């Protein structure tokens, strides 16, 4: 059976080669191809008739093998349907497929009584298989060509994308360089542009060094002023606290003495007037210092920052950082001075003009004075 199947396959391959050769010859020269096709077909038919028994046995064995592999009792019908589908796909003609199926059915019926009919059926099947194989090869080639075309299109698209990106990057770089050299002669020769760029870089480095030094000096001055003001405020607060403690101690001593003498604890003696006025003066000085720092440091840094925002190319990142640091230091120094001044002034008002003093009684600690 295998030898017969191999013989049938070889017959089909030979027929396919003959058909392919006939088609190639037809493409090259129509008249010669027709003659060669007729000769090849005659030779194939002669060989098919000589191998009629083998082809018929191979066809029967193939039908049995198909029926066994598919486990389908209707193998002959399915074979006819598959053959019809193959013919329909190969010829792309529904009418031709139907006719081929009918011819195949008639040939199968006649093959049972006529070996020649069986041989013809085998030859027709071999021809159909060869044509189907040729069509499949053509379809495979078409798919391969399409895949190659798709791959080429994808490669071209990738190359174009890369080229576009490179062009965009080059344009962005060119725009950035043109913008960086906007104040210089950007269209000069490359050597002059390089020299100008180096000179500008050196100038920027010098400006940055000067700006960093100025920023450091300004920050040091602001820090010193802030520290001095904070130290002064701390000293004033310490003096005020000491004066308040002394006043409280004196008031407590007086109240204790008056309590022992049977007098009321609600004494109207005022002990905090002088301390209150001192604290008011200290608070005013702190507020005035905060206002001065605001106008001299904060407003100046704000103006520099607005100028840098309006023209970013006029400053370097280090200079911008120095401006921001100067503004923040001045702002917090101003807030600290003003808040400390308000606190000191408020305390002074309570202890001074309001004639108020701390009072100790059996009920607790309170304020005593004229309201």
State whether residue 199 is helix, strand or coil. Answer: helix
What is the average per-residue pLDDT within 317-336? 94
Hey, CA dihedral for 237, 239, 240, 244, is it positive or negative?
A: positive
Angle at 77 between CA 76 and CA 80, to 5 degrees: 85
Read off the pLDDT of residues 152-175 as tens digits, 9 standing for 90 and up. Answer: 867 676 767 766 776 667 776 667
Q: Percent of the chain having pLDDT more than 70?
A: 68
Instruction: Using the predicted structure, report yes or no on whether residue 201 has a pLDDT greater than 70.
Output: no
CA distances from 209 to 28, 224, 321, 370 (A): 85, 22, 13, 62
- Rounded Cα distance between 114 and 235, Å, is 132
Name 222's Cβ contacts closer than 8 Å, sequence gap at least 6.
293, 297, 326, 329, 330, 333
What's the burial of 351, exposed, middle or buried (CB within 10 Å: 0-12/13-18/19+)? Answer: buried
- Rounded Cα distance between 133 and 17, Å, is 11
CB atoms within 10 A of CB 275: 22
Q: Where are the beta strands (DSSP E) in the chain?
A: 356-361, 364-369
Hey, what are 116's tokens?
A: 């020649």
State whether residue 357 is helix, strand or coil. Answer: strand
Q: Are 132 and 86 in contact (CB under 8 A)?
A: yes
What is the average per-residue pLDDT within 187-213? 55
Name 297's Cβ contacts closer than 8 Å, sequence gap at least 6.
218, 222, 326, 329, 330, 333, 334
Angle at 220 between CA 215 and CA 226, to 5 degrees: 125
Q: Are 81 and 70 in contact (CB under 8 A)?
A: no
Hey, CA dihedral for 165, 166, 167, 170, is it positive or negative?
A: positive
Angle at 97 between CA 64 and CA 9, to 5 degrees: 40
Lowest mean pLDDT among 4-18, 41-55, 335-349: 41-55
Between residues 346 and 178, which one has the greater pLDDT? 346
- Rounded Cα distance between 291 and 330, Å, is 11
Instruction: Using the predicted structure, report yes or no on whether residue 177 has a pLDDT greater than 50.
Output: yes
φ and ψ at residue 363, rounded to 5 degrees:
-85, -15
Read off the pLDDT of residues 96-112 as tens digits, 9 standing for 90 and up. Answer: 767 877 888 887 878 68
What's the burial of 309, exposed, middle or buried (CB within 10 Å: 0-12/13-18/19+)? Answer: exposed
Q: Are 193 and 184 in contact (CB under 8 A)?
A: yes
Read off the pLDDT of residues 215-228 as tens digits, 9 standing for 90 and up. Answer: 556 566 766 666 77
Lowest mean pLDDT among 9-23, 66-80, 225-239, 314-328: 225-239
State whether residue 353 is helix, strand or coil. Answer: coil
Helices and strands (H, E) in the chain, number of each type: 10, 2
Instruction: Using the predicted structure, report yes or no on whether residue 260 has a pLDDT greater than 60.
Output: no
φ and ψ at residue 108, rounded to 5 degrees:
-60, -40
Locus of tokens 């950007």: 186
| Residues making up the chain, counted from first to last | 371
What's the burial of 170, exposed, middle or buried (CB within 10 Å: 0-12/13-18/19+)? Answer: exposed
Q: Are 339 and 232 in contact (CB under 8 A)?
A: no
What is the average per-residue pLDDT within 225-241? 69
pTM score of the predicted model: 0.28
Between residues 183 and 12, which one has the greater pLDDT? 12
Q: Are 88 and 75 in contact (CB under 8 A)?
A: no
**CA 222 to the chain's CA centroid:** 44
Q: Are 266 and 368 in contact (CB under 8 A)?
A: yes
């Amino acid at each position: 059976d295998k030898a017969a199947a191999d013989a049938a396959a070889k017959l089909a391959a030979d027929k396919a080669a003959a058909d392919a050769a006939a088609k190639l010859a037809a493409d090259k020269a129509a008249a010669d191809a027709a003659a060669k096709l007729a000769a090849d077909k005659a030779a194939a038919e002669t060989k098919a008739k000589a191998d009629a028994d083998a082809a018929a046995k191979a066809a029967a064995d193939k039908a049995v093998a198909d029926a066994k592999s598919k486990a389908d009792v209707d193998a002959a019908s399915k074979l006819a349907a598959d053959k019809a589908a193959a013919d329909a796909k190969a010829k792309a003609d529904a009418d031709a497929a139907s006719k081929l199926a009918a011819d195949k059915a008639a040939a199968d019926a006649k093959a049972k009584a006529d070996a020649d009919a069986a041989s013809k059926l085998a030859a027709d099947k071999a021809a159909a298989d060869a044509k189907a194989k040729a069509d499949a090869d053509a379809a495979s080639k078409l798919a391969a060509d399409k895949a190659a075309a798709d791959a080429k299109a994808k490669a071209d698209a990738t190359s174009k994308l890369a080229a576009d990106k490179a062009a965009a990057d080059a344009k962005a770089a060119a725009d950035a360089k043109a913008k960086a050299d906007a104040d210089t002669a950007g269209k000069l020769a490359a050597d002059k542009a390089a020299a100008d760029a180096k000179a500008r870089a050196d100038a920027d480095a010098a400006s940055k060094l000067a700006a960093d030094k100025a920023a450091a000096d300004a920050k040091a001055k602001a820090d010193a002023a802030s520290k001095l003001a904070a130290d002064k405020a701390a000293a004033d607060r310490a003096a005020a606290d000491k004066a308040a403690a002394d006043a409280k101690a004196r008031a407590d001593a007086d109240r204790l003495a008056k309590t022992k003498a049977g007098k009321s604890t609600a004494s109207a003696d005022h002990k905090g007037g002088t301390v209150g006025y001192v604290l008011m003066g200290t608070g005013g000085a702190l507020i005035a210092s905060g206002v001065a720092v605001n106008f001299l440091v904060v407003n100046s840094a704000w103006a520099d920052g607005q100028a840098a925002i309006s023209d970013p190319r006029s400053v370097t990142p280090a200079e911008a950082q120095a401006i921001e640091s100067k503004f923040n230091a001045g702002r917090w120094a101003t807030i600290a001075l003003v808040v400390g001044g308000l606190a000191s002034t408020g305390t002074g008002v309570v202890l001074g003009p309001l004639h108020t003093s701390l009072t100790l009684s059996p009920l607790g600690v309170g304020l005593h004075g004229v309201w």
